[in-house]
Structure 1
Amino acid sequence: MLMNSLSAAILNYSREIFHPMAIPDYQTYMLPLLRHLADGKEHSLRETEDALAEHFKLSATERAELLPSGQQGIFKNRVGWARTYLKKASLLDAPRRGVFKITERGIQTLASNPARIDVKYLERWPEFIEFRDTAKPPGESAPAADLPATKNTPEEAIELAYQGLREQLGLELLSRILSCSPTFFEQLVVELLVEMGYGGSRRDAGERVGQTGDGGIDGIIKEDRLGLDTIFIQAKRWQGTVGRPEIQKFVGALQGQRAKKGVFITTSTYTAEATEYASRIDTKVVLIDGKQLTELMIDFDVGVSGSASYIVKRIDSDYFEDA
């Protein structure tokens, strides 16, 4: 039940946010990949990737598009899984690392002129069914037809689930911040900047100023551990959009302090006019909205703690180099 719910959540979330450019899903690569190997010769992975990219008319930008974690290319990941599935169905073979060729079964499959090769098509071979069933969670007895169909590779599914949990955590953080006092929020943003590496300890790097007569300044923080420069902070625990007048007031307060750098942090958003104004003035003012604030809090462990860790491992090819 838990796995089915998680799979459904991953599928729904992927439909909402994961539509990277025009890169085909991994199943769409299967038939063109097999056709590329139709000559029976050995082909390298790089050569095959180039051929598929040309076949689908993918630009260099599309080929360079990364998974949400930024650890692997989407195109390379999807071609890799298409190759793995074809190999598990014995339609291609890998005589050595980074090189593969079509099998007799693969040649016969192409001779039948299939309109498409996908996971459902591969289920006609027992080797693939065994591979698929082995990959199921223990105790999962539902037939394949009852499992949610997805176009995402396993890595994409994991990263999509992670992004979904992260976004939900961000919303919960924002809700909790809005229920806190303005004083607590001012302290929070100073602590966040300290955790990001500004200054040294919280005690000597940042201080809250937010009090009557502060001139629109809610905090001061050293830019580095030596205190070579100072950054002034304005923290607005708002639900309404922050407009240009508020940014202008903050810039005026900075000028009153003869300051050249400031950070304006809000729990809401900024108008286009406010963003444009901040980008045109000589004083360096960085605008951080509610979404960016919670992302930074998650990244630097402010107001959050670890719940569980999962490490995705890959084959160490160097280990098997001399096997």
Structure 2
Amino acid sequence: MRPVLAHLSDGESKRSRAVKDAMAAEFALTDGEQAELLPSGRQRTIDNRVAWALTYLSQAGLVERPQRGIVRISDLGRQALDANPEQISLKVLEKYPAYIAFRNRTREVETPAEKALPAAEPSATPQDLLEQAVRENGAVIENELLQRALALPSIGFEDLVMKLLAEMGYGHAGRVERTRASGDAGIDGIISQDPLGLDRIYVQAKRYATDKVIHRPTIQSFVGALMGAQGDRGVFITTSSFSSGAREEAERVAFRIELIDGARLAQLMLRHGVGVQAETTATLYQLDEDFFEAL
């Protein structure tokens, strides 16, 4: 990670592809070493290593991603270079609150027993290690999905939401469509659950900063939009979060309203394969005791 950060120390915004090529030169890789692929055969090993280095540095706040495919060093990153002249390891990243928050997200789904068994523990089984890797990968990708959603224009975000709902199975017997940008009366999309459009779900999609909180009045406005459309079911999806008052309002009204915040949006995107692609599939084997007992 330190060579990657040092390469960005000039402060210029660089393409991720250029950083990967620079690291291949930094480590004087031969043509054969540069061409080496992961076991999946889908990506070069050097590209994978640099991509993960950038991901971890970004999670800690040492690297910024101002736009798609572009990276640059942050002020924290400059400080980290000065404070760590030899190496920047995961242990070093644990000094940064943003990285700790990221690691905590990877552990949210762990049971107490899993938390008590670090990956480096000699008693950890391959299954333990694999499950931890899957959790950590999921947390990384969910964060990047949310950041990418935030970088979309409003119309692009609405298209993303409608694509996600379609992948979740909504509208298969009918259609999922985004309303026109003007004159939508507070409705950004409509899901027709049947071919005639008699069974409808109305969608509002708001691309807000992650630190913004949606309060009760916004949900009341959405309820008004549902009434204007003569609908009784709605989904409000945002990249930010909802206050307790907003959630109480959604529960209180006679309409059926589902609220999906930024964290859940990213989880759903990952679960339903929207904006991601599978990189590696692993198969673990277990001794078949029945087979040997039958011999």
Normalising to structure 1: TM-score of the pair?
A: 0.54
Please state whether the residue corresponding to 2:254 is helix, strand or coil: coil
Aligned to 1:215: 185
Task: Report the CA distance between 1:21 and its aligned residue.
Answer: 4.0
Task: Report the CA distance between 1:174 and its aligned residue.
Answer: 1.1
Aligned to 2:207: 237
Q: Kindly tell me: are residues 16 and 283 of structure 1, through their superposed partners in 2, closer, same or farther at Cα, counting changes over 3 Å?
A: closer
Aligned to 1:164: 136
Task: Report the CA distance between 1:250 and its aligned residue.
Answer: 0.6
Contact 1:260/1:284 (CA < 8 Å) preserved in 2? yes
AA aligned opposite 1:299: R
Contact 2:172/2:193 (CA < 8 Å) preserved in 1? no
Count, aligned residues: 199
Deviations 1:148-169 (A, max 9, x none): 4466443222212211111111
Alignment of 1:252-271 (within 5 A): 252-271=224-243
When the two chains are superposed, the root-mean-square deviation of aligned CA atoms in Å is 3.5
Task: Report the CA distance between 1:8 and its aligned residue.
Answer: 6.7
Alignment of 1:73-152 (within 5 A): 148-149=120-121, 152=124
The whole-number CA distance in structure 2 between the counterparts of 1:167 and 1:14 is: 9
Equivalent residue in structure 2 for 1:287, among 250, 256, 259: 259
Q: Kindly tell me: are residues 299 and 225 of structure 1, through their superposed partners in 2, closer, same or farther at Cα, counting changes over 3 Å?
A: farther
Task: Report the CA distance between 1:215 and its aligned residue.
Answer: 1.3
Q: Which runs of 5+ in 1 are unaligned?
A: 28-146
Aligned to 2:111: 20
Please state whether the residue corresponding to 2:284 is helix, strand or coil: coil
Normalising to structure 2: TM-score of the pair?
A: 0.58
Deviations 1:224-271 (A, max 9, x none): 677551110000000111111111111111111111111000001111
AA aligned opposite 1:167: A
Aligned to 1:319: 291
Aligned to 2:79: none
AA aligned opposite 2:251: S
Contact 2:107/2:115 (CA < 8 Å) preserved in 1? no
Task: Report the CA distance between 1:23 and its aligned residue.
Answer: 8.1
Contact 2:177/2:189 (CA < 8 Å) preserved in 1? yes
Contact 2:106/2:138 (CA < 8 Å) preserved in 1? no
- Verify: 1:188 aligned to 2:160, yes or no: yes
The whole-number CA distance in structure 2 between the counterparts of 1:171 and 1:234 is: 22
Q: Kindly tell me: are residues 16 and 167 of structure 1, through their superposed partners in 2, closer, same or farther at Cα, counting changes over 3 Å?
A: closer
Q: Kindly tell me: are residues 312 and 254 of structure 1, through their superposed partners in 2, closer, same or farther at Cα, counting changes over 3 Å?
A: same
Aligned to 2:43: none
Contact 2:145/2:266 (CA < 8 Å) preserved in 1? yes
Q: Which runs of 5+ in 2 are unaligned?
A: 1-48, 57-88, 95-99
Contact 1:198/1:224 (CA < 8 Å) preserved in 2? no
The whole-number CA distance in structure 1 between the counterparts of 2:122 and 2:165 is: 40
AA aligned opposite 2:169: G
What is the identity percentage for the equivalent residue pairs of Structure 1 and Structure 2? Answer: 39
